[in-house]
Amino acid sequence: MSERPDNTTPHEAAARGPLLLSTWSFGERANAAAWPDFSAGGSALDAVEAVTVFCDEDPGIDSVGYGGLPDRDGDMSLDGCVMLSPEQCGSVCAVRKHLHPVRIARLVMDRTPHVMLAGEGADEFASAHGLPEQPLLSPEAKKAWQVRQAQGGGDSSDVRPVDGDPDGALFKDQEDRWRNNHDTIGVLGLDDQGRLAGACSTSGMPWKVPGRVGDSPIIGHGLYVDPHGGAAVATGTGELVMAICGSFLAVEQMRSGAMPQDAIREVLERIASRSDLQANHQVALIAIRPDGHWSSGALRPGFRLAFSDGSGHHTMDPAFVQLPGT
């Protein structure tokens, strides 16, 4: 991880593209992989797709693509979406045979009158458009599932949804666990022509009930982009985000004039006020206005984000934590 070379708070400053903002520290190396083409004048749309594709292929990320943890029965399913505007968005969920949900989602956006394809239909659509079928379950993820089975199995209702270590053997305490655990890759891009784009890719909650779909592929929940309002992306416990249309809510706040930090705070306040909030729940958002002001916030400690601009690639803490010390 590279620290920002000075103590400025880029959250508060208007930025000019090219700029990439990605969830979690693994976003830094994904941003870096996408950067050469993006900084040479590539579009925000191509850049956000490239960031997610990089994460899909990294077997070390246990919540996205190959390397992601499977559902309760040991089967993989992937979700993702991409968005430029309310008129230009695409999504797929419960994909079982193809590795790159955002690539399929972009085809849905570009080549169909639809927004979302699910399950078998999404896989058939991907094959029909020339995308290769690939194994999605890595040997490490299979082993993790087998270990869990040996310990009694079950679905994810008893573990932190973004947790790849339900028994707590890897981390010294809860914060360490959050800090080292990861969830959805969500990425926002602002290119040198001032165009915003966003994308999400995830294998969803580990050990999920088969068929479960979270916020990531649902336009307005895990991701929303409106050239007139801004863009927001969420990560964490999808069910909490889905209950309040989290990304759409953040963008609507910005459309009404809110700064990104205030928009995110409104979303997190609504989540924090839930009567059924659990200690293992986490949600974080990144938001950016069309003028380049951006920010990030998390419900609990442990979230980090990656940003890339002309100064390099950086991993940093969010601007604020709604429930510090929890």
Q: Which residues are catalytic?
A: 184
DSSP assigned state of 91: E
- Residue 302 is a binding residue for ligand GLY (CB under 6 A): no
From the CA atom positions of the chain, what is the Rg in Å?
Answer: 18
Angstrom distance (rounded) from CA 121 to CA 292:
37
Compute CA distances 77 → 114, 248, 257, whole Å: 21, 25, 38
Contact segment (CB under 6 A) with ligand GLY among 66-74, 111-119, 197-205, 310-318 equals: 197-205
Any residues with CB less than 8 A from the CB of 172 and at least 6 apart, and which?
A: none
Contact segment (CB under 6 A) with ligand GLY among 33-41, 93-101, 234-242, 266-274 equals: 234-242
- Residue 236 is a binding residue for ligand GLY (CB under 6 A): yes
Strands 294-298 and 320-321: parallel
Return the sign of the alpha-carbon dihedral for residues 180, 183, 184, 188.
Answer: negative
Contacts to ligand GLY from residues 105-144, by CB under 6 A: none
Contact segment (CB under 6 A) with ligand GLY among 54-62, 200-208, 286-294, 298-306 equals: 200-208
Contact segment (CB under 6 A) with ligand GLY among 24-32, 140-148, 210-218, 256-264 equals: 210-218
What single-letter amino acid sits at 209? V
By CB under 6 A, name the one of 23, 235, 282, 296 that touches ligand GLY: 235
Count of Cβ atoms closer than 10 Å to residue 257 Cβ? 9
- Residue 238 is a binding residue for ligand GLY (CB under 6 A): yes
Write down the residue that tokens 């979302």 correspond to: 116
Phi-psi region of 257 (alpha: psi -120 to 50; beta: other; left: phi over 0): left
- Residue 80 is a binding residue for ligand GLY (CB under 6 A): no
Q: Crossing angle for the helix pair 119-128 and 101-111, nearest 10 degrees? A: 80
Q: Between 28 and 183, whose beta carbon lies closer to ligand GLY?
A: 183
By CB under 6 A, name the one of 67, 74, 204, 318 that touches ligand GLY: 204
Q: Between 278 and 311, whose beta carbon lies closer to ligand GLY?
A: 278
By CB under 6 A, name the one of 43, 181, 216, 282 that touches ligand GLY: 216
Contacts to ligand GLY from residues 147-186, by CB under 6 A: 183-184
- Residue 52 is a binding residue for ligand GLY (CB under 6 A): no
CB of 139 to ligand GLY, least distance (A): 23
Count of Cβ atoms closer than 10 Å to residue 124 Cβ? 12
CB of 217 to ligand GLY, least distance (A): 8
- Residue 214 is a binding residue for ligand GLY (CB under 6 A): yes
- Residue 101 is a binding residue for ligand GLY (CB under 6 A): no
- Residue 230 is a binding residue for ligand GLY (CB under 6 A): no
- Residue 205 is a binding residue for ligand GLY (CB under 6 A): yes
Contact segment (CB under 6 A) with ligand GLY among 48-56, 121-129, 229-237, 255-263 equals: 229-237
Strands (E), the chain: 19-23, 78-85, 88-95, 116-118, 185-190, 196-202, 223-226, 230-236, 283-288, 294-298, 305-309, 312-316, 320-321
Compute CA distances 1 → 31, 47, 307, whole Å: 12, 21, 11
Residues that bind ligand GLY (CB under 6 A): 183-184, 202, 204-205, 214-216, 235-238
